[in-house]
Amino acid sequence: MTYVSPVCVVTGGSQGIGLAVCEKMSANGYRVFNLDLEDFARPVENGQWVKCDVAQVGEVKQCIETIIAQASRIDALVSNAGIHFSGTIEQTSEAEFDRVFAINVKGAYAAIQSVLPVMKSQHSGAIVVMGSDQSLIGKPGSFAYNLSKAALASMVKTTALDYAEYNIRANAVCPGTIETPLFHNAINRYVEKSGAKKADVVADEAAQQPLGRLGQPEEVAELVLFLAGDKATFITGSLQVIDGGYTAR
């Protein structure tokens, strides 16, 4: 019998958690397609970059149709693409609000909607959405980002219920403070505004976690791999927290 590699589509897989996910899935036998505006930050074996603006629904649909034509199936979708924005509701302009939701929420909507027909025809599929600890809790100065991650939690739950009859599972991974380029960019912006020392800010962030350190992208990727695979076949509609204990308090 000829072995056919399972196929995984990742959005925003060129750096940070997304890149770690691409590497982890590839190392475990998946053929990986990465939808992102930029190529992989480093080469990924069995990984293929597909240039795509995930905020454009039509572009996402076209890219995924091309992947299906090439690979004939999609076994897992990891909707990871996202951006961060700091600010209260008063400090968030309409343009900034729209940008956060276009990438974080509409991007996930577009990717999930596009893979469902082939997953339904296969009568199988795993969808993993990259939420946040802010899918469960509120944080100050994080109005638009917090709202977008709460919306993703809802998207996962409704998708899980609507497509369970097709053996399609949908779950969210909810990371806390993970040391990624997104994290460092946010810290850099804060340092520029506040004049604080970056090393002190990073140390303070680590100290806020009950485990006393920042999470690493590879740790999140391990959870994604589990949820996408055959060992998690009775898990759907869940919000899986990976935050060093932050939301347990």
One-letter amino acid for residue 82 of the chain: G
Q: What is the DSSP string of 52-101?
A: --TT-HHHHHHHHHHHHHHHS---EEEE-------B-STT--HHHHHHHH
With the C-alpha atoms ordered 97, 99, 104, 110, is the resulting torsion angle positive or negative?
A: positive
Cα gap 140→203, rounded to integer Å: 19
User: Residue 207, exposed/middle/buried by CB under 10 A (0-12, 13-18, 19+)?
Assistant: exposed
The active-site residue out of 3, 30, 109, 145 is 145
Closest CA to 81 of 14, 172, 156: 14
Instruction: Indicate the SS3 state at residue 174.
Output: strand
* 95, 46 contact by CB (below 8 A): no
For residue 105, what is the DSSP state? I
145 belongs to the catalytic site: yes
Cα gap 210→167, rounded to integer Å: 37
What dihedral angle (degrees, nearest 10) is formed by the CA atoms of 238, 164, 63, 3? 100
Q: Active-site positions?
A: 145
